[in-house]
Chains A and B, each alone.
Chain A
Amino acid sequence: MKLSVKNHIGPRCIIKEDGQKIYDAIHGALRQGESVNLDFEGVSQFASPFFNFAIGQLLKDIAESDLRTLLHLDHLNETGKLVVERVIENAARYHGDKDYRQIVDDILESQAKESV
């Protein structure tokens, strides 16, 4: 499967709504083990909300190694590559069921230390 990002959403990959459109277009094919080429020709501006939804979200039910084998990001410039790599790293270590009590306890502990 091939998809032109510019034709699908325009020349800016910025907002989560556009990221969701790309996700909806490619998720099914990737889940079935198909190769997907996302072509970023003509796209020059990028921000993390777009990639969180277009690509980070894929890691909910596709293993990172499978994603890296199946998904090809063609003509993505260095800026886009940097953001997408950070998004994949972040999504790979994300857990929806965080231990918030532990988080609050840790913050309070460091707060107490800083106030001494």
Chain B
Amino acid sequence: MTRQVIHIPTLNDRPDDFAWLFQIWKEANDNFEDIRFDFSHCNFLRPNAVAFLGGLARLIESRSGSCEFDWPTLRRGAVLTNLCQNGFAGIFGYPSPSWHGNSIPYREDEKLDMNGIMDYLTFNWIGKGWVHVSERLRDAIAGRMWEIYSNAFEHSGSAIGVFSCGQHYWRHNTLILSVVDFGQGIPAIVRSFLSQHVEAELVSKLSGATCLKWAFESGNSTSVDGVARGLGLDLLKEFIRLNQGKLEVYSNNAYAIVDKDGDRYENRNLNFEGTAVHITLRCDERLYQFRDEDG
């Protein structure tokens, strides 16, 4: 049996790097029986790439394919060290335990595990000491981040669940969280929902960016149980703005960014069946206080 070899390049977290990840997803999708990931051209992997590749491996396995990370091809010691530290290498066959460092563990959630995810956000991510926050603020931030997982599990329809990874970068003083699902994608879900009420032909004219924008607006939801929803992304956006951080979402062919300059929604030359959420927080302690907390 021949294995399809997919080369993993150096992957940062700029839009071009996400485009590479979606290209890798497409290659794997076109040939999802037996795949070997080769790292010989890889000098750096950001947590978005780690979460994405882990999820992609599980996607291939879920379709009865097999998947191998070819560890000997990873020549760059720092990349291997990071993948060992965050637990990814150990999970995918490299004999190494994880340990505490600047990385935030790679995590797989096939099913919604509220306490597991909240512990991860509370103690391994925001509460790990990268930035001094009160317990109250730590708990508040973890609650806002929960909204990403809630949306992914409730709406995406991802059969293999949700994949996360993070990292703290001392040099930039930023804290990253990347969460990926391999469900339908937000524009597809919005179109499918609106098609239940309006002719599909009309709904099909809605662009990906427009659908993403609709999903981000307060009070809009694709749930049909008669309970008012649609606040989660709005609450998250508020926090991101206060923190002067950045929230980026890639879903189907659409891209959204929320930062200090506002919200922007764009159609991109991408095609990813799923959603990747990438959050960058600033660790400046002046940004981490409630109004009633002393400076």
Interface residues of A (CB under 8 A from B): 12, 14-16, 44-49, 52-53, 56-57, 59-60, 77-79, 83, 86-87, 90-91, 93-94, 96, 100-101, 103-104, 107-108, 110-111
Contact = CB atoms under 8 A, between A and B. Distances in A.
Given A45-B122, A52-B228, A104-B203, 15 more contacts: A12-B115, A14-B118, A44-B135, A45-B142, A47-B144, A47-B146, A48-B150, A48-B231, A49-B150, A52-B227, A53-B227, A56-B227, A86-B231, A90-B231, A100-B197
Contacts of B228: 52, 56-57, 59, 87, 90-91, 94
Contact of B114 (A12, A87, A101, A110): A12
B156 to A, nearest CB: 15
Given A52-B227, A90-B228, A90-B231, A101 B198 contact: yes
Contacts of A101: 197-198
Given A14-B114, A53-B227, A104-B198, A45 B147 contact: no
A90 B218 contact: yes
Interface in B154-190: 154
Interface in B109-154: 112, 114-115, 118, 122, 135-136, 139-140, 142-144, 146-147, 150, 154
A37 to B, nearest CB: 23
B194 interface: yes
Contacts of B207: 111
Nearest to A108: B205
Interface string B221-241: 000001111111011000000
Contacts of B1: none
Query: Per DSSP, are chain B's interface residues mostly helix, strand or loop, or mixed?
Result: helix
Interface in B206-223: 206-207, 210, 214, 218-219
Contacts, number: 97
19 contacts: A15-B150, A45-B118, A47-B147, A48-B229, A49-B150, A86-B234, A87-B228, A87-B231, A90-B218, A90-B229, A93-B219, A100-B198, A101-B197, A103-B194, A104-B198, A107-B210, A110-B210, A111-B205, A111-B206
A44 B122 CA distance: 11
Interface of B: 112, 114-115, 118, 122, 135-136, 139-140, 142-144, 146-147, 150, 154, 194, 197-198, 202-203, 205-207, 210, 214, 218-219, 226-232, 234-235, 290, 292
B136 A108 contact: no
Contacts of B115: 12
Contacts of A44: 135-136, 139
B146 A100 contact: no
B226 A60 contact: yes
Nearest to B196: A100
Contacts of B229: 48-49, 52, 90
Contacts of B290: 78
Nearest to A83: B235
A79 B143 contact: yes
Contacts of B112: 15
Contacts of B140: 46, 79
Contacts of A46: 140, 143
A48 B136 contact: no
Contact of A48 (B114, B139, B235): B235
Nearest to B267: A115
